């Protein structure tokens, strides 16, 4: 489903690494259930929205239903649909700061929910 999303995952990891000192909640993938499960810190890799769906960065940014409002607000601001094909433009384009702010907001929510 997310083939080709590697650029975003790599970008996210770079951003998270660069923001560690400013934003302790952004520690790579540490707050996502899939990552926590991999290191035996959580029973299941599943997201709370669907037991059959792993919680990882692309799911949280693109699909997680509780972030629909924030996602739609960003889409209206940028006049772009937030989907896998538009991520490269968002990551490297003129609006990367707004996209980064969205990423930080939603990742903080996930990290808080997962006790990170």
CB 65 → Zn ion: shortest distance, Å?
7
Which is nearer to Zn ion, 17 or 50 (by Cβ)?
A: 50
110: contact with Zn ion by CB under 5 A: no
Q: Which stretch binds Zn ion (CB under 5 A): 8-16, 47-55, 89-97, 106-114?
A: 47-55
Binding segment toward Zn ion, per CB under 5 A, in 16-24, 40-48, 77-85, 102-110 = 40-48
Three-state secondary-structure class, residue 51? strand
d(CA 58, CA 8): 8
Q: Which is nearer to Zn ion, 51 or 79 (CB)?
A: 51
Query: Is 26 within 8 Å of 10 (Cβ atoms)?
Result: no
Q: Is 49 in the site for Zn ion (CB under 5 A)?
A: yes
Burial of 95 (0-12, 13-18, 19+ CB in 10 A): middle
Which of 89, 103, 17, 23 lies closest to 59 in space, CA to CA?
A: 103
Residue 64 sits in the site that holds Zn ion (CB under 5 A): yes
The two three-digit tokens of residue 114, written as one number: 């997962």
Binding site for Zn ion (CB under 5 A): 47, 49, 64
């Amino acid at each position: 489903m997310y083939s080709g999303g590697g650029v975003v995952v790599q970008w996210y990891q770079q951003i998270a690494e660069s923001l560690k000192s400013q934003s302790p909640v952004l520690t790579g993938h540490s707050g996502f259930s899939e990552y926590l499960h991999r290191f035996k810190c959580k029973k299941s890799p599943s997201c709370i929205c669907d037991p059959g769906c792993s919680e990882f960065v692309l799911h949280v940014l693109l699909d997680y239903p509780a972030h629909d409002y924030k996602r739609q607000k960003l889409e209206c601001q940028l006049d772009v649909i937030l989907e896998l094909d538009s991520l490269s433009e968002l990551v490297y384009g003129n609006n990367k700061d707004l996209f980064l702010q969205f990423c930080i907001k939603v990742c903080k929510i996930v990290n808080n929910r997962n006790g990170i």
